[in-house]
Structure 1
Amino acid sequence: MLDKPDVELTKPKAHHLGHRDRLRNRAREGGLPSLPDYELLELFLFRSQPQGDVKPIAKALLDRFGSLSGVLAASVEDLRTVKAQDIKGRTKAIGQETALDLCALQEVARRVSLEEVTKRPVISSWTALLSYVRIALQHEPREQFRVLYLDHKNQLIRDEILNRGTVDHAPVYPREVVRRALELSAKSMIIIHNHPSGDPTPSRADIDMTRQIIEAAKSLEMQVHDHLIAGRHGVTSFKQLGLM
């Protein structure tokens, strides 16, 4: 009599079994730059979710936020709205810990980019400055107004958020911008804010507000080097546009 086949040996294996090891091996052999965004995100999710198939979650995150940078810039609350189906068709939401880990990764990226800005005079580190502005503000869902306060050598004293607003407005008072500069003994500043709509084109209100800050700063012998507006479609410089 023939032995009955081992049920476990003949049972088809789920496609995700061994996937983690295969992906890690590919990353080691070909290098992380060779991986597509969703697989790079998977590698990070392996640590937040030590069991199960995380590929559907990685792809759902990219679909929801549009890009890897969009995923990392999302808030904990927004990340937790993302859901994906596992291999058995069960719906699984992004947990609190996974969302927090992704937000922490964004904060690491922001701080690393800020280090590049602080190593030398900010106005001579244009590429590093633009990179920092993109990471800090490009995907912010609400308008945020911040100022880089600089010393007499144009080195960074403080990167300060002066106001957070709605999806299209963050009220700013020029006297508060200048008052804070006095408190920090700043000699100059760079104004930064974002347009959650994605279009970094300055509005009439942006232009008027910038001119008011420039005039207030000038009366105290302070200089405003530039005003940068970040959006998903790029970063706009008032100085390059001839607006100041």
Structure 2
Amino acid sequence: MARSGSGSDRTDPPLPGLSDTGAAGSFASDPQMHQQHRERLRAKLMRAGPEALADYELLELVLFRAIPRRDVKPLAKVLMGRFGNFNHVMSAPVRQLERVPGVGPAVIRELKIVEATAHRFAQAGILGQEVLSSWDAVVAYCRARMAHLPTEEFRILFLDRQNVLIADEAQQKGSVDHVPVYPREVAKRALELNASALLLVHNHPSGDPRPSQADIKMTRQVEQALSALGITLHDHLIVGKAGATSLRSLGHI
């Protein structure tokens, strides 16, 4: 007997007009061909590594878990066409994913599991580490965590006296081009965590990591508030799809 349940327990609906057709024929009507295709992709991954897979093929491997009995290549290519690349698909907002035909709760759940895993993996490279001597890992983590967000987010990395990371928190979320930051609240949270130093991070959804005058002004206000409490502001990183910018390297701290 089939088990009933909520929508999150079911596989997602087929992609209209695409899921059962294609140059290679109908995988849905030929279960053996369908299974062989999946096994070939899995074997390719294990034999040659992820670098041997195109983005849409890696995405197919993720979608296999959500849609176990249908050809997912058409949906993978639709998602790639809509969002641009594998990273953008994983980090796409749920509301935007829901608008894609063929994407339902099961697909969204798998995509967000992969996104969360990537963030946790990147964070592991800086937890318990002296941040200033692990700078490349810090930048890589911040880019993985924030570069593809659709709206601005302001995060703080709180450090102890040895500049070891003790907390990483999102303080504020804003619009596509603005996030409110309150220096008093930043200083208050630093005191609560007994932090000796901070690293500020926020993203530019436009992709351009260059600081605005508002970014520079806010950074100086936070630095002043922290300085009065004997807390060091090491840097303010601005993250974009094109890279990351350090306000200290530009002379603004």
- Same fold per superposition (TM over 0.5): yes
Unaligned runs of 5+ in 1: 1-12, 84-92
CA distance in 2, matches of 1:117, 1:51: 40
- Residue 49 of structure 1 aligns with which residue? 67
Contact 2:159 2:167 in 1 (8 A): yes
The SS at the match of 2:162 is coil
The 5-angstrom pairing of residues 16-95 of structure 1 reads 16=27, 17=33, 18-83=36-101, 93-95=102-104
Among the aligned pairs, what percent are the same residue? Answer: 47
> C-alpha offsets along residues 52-80 of structure 1, whole Å, 9 cap, x if unaligned?
11111111111111111111111222222
- Residue 204 of structure 1 aligns with which residue? 213
- Residue 123 of structure 2 aligns with which residue? 114
CA distance in 1, matches of 2:49, 2:185: 48
Is 1:138 equivalent to 2:147 in the alignment?
yes
- Aligned-pair Cα RMSD in Å: 1.6
CA distance in 2, matches of 1:56, 1:125: 41
CA distance in 1, matches of 2:48, 2:192: 51
- Residue 109 of structure 2 aligns with which residue? 100
> Which protein has greater RCO, CA pairs closer than 8 Å, 6+ apart?
2
CA distance in 2, matches of 1:62, 1:80: 15
Shift, 1:20, TM fit? 1.6
* Counterpart AA for 1:182: L
Is 1:220 equivalent to 2:238 in the alignment?
no
- Residue 203 of structure 2 aligns with which residue? 194
CA distance in 1, matches of 2:205, 2:108: 21
Higher Cα Rg, which structure: 1
> C-alpha offsets along residues 197-218 of structure 1, whole Å, 9 cap, x if unaligned?
1111100010000001101111
The SS at the match of 1:118 is coil
TM-score, length basis structure 1? 0.87
Contact 2:201 2:236 in 1 (8 A): yes
Contact 2:151 2:177 in 1 (8 A): yes
Contact 1:74 1:103 in 2 (8 A): no
CA distance in 1, matches of 2:48, 2:205: 37
CA distance in 2, matches of 1:157, 1:22: 44
CA distance in 1, matches of 2:83, 2:62: 17
Contact 1:76 1:100 in 2 (8 A): no
Contact 1:75 1:103 in 2 (8 A): no
Contact 1:146 1:193 in 2 (8 A): yes
Q: Which runs of 4+ in 1 moved over 6 A?
A: none
Shift, 1:15, TM fit? 5.5
* Counterpart AA for 2:137: A
Shift, 1:133, TM fit? 0.6
CA distance in 2, matches of 1:52, 1:231: 36
Unaligned runs of 5+ in 2: 1-23, 28-32
- Residue 25 of structure 2 aligns with which residue? 14
Match of 1:153 among 153, 162, 165: 162
Shift, 1:14, TM fit? 2.4
- Residue 13 of structure 2 aligns with which residue? none
> C-alpha offsets along residues 149-173 of structure 1, whole Å, 9 cap, x if unaligned?
1111111111111111111111111
* Counterpart AA for 1:224: L
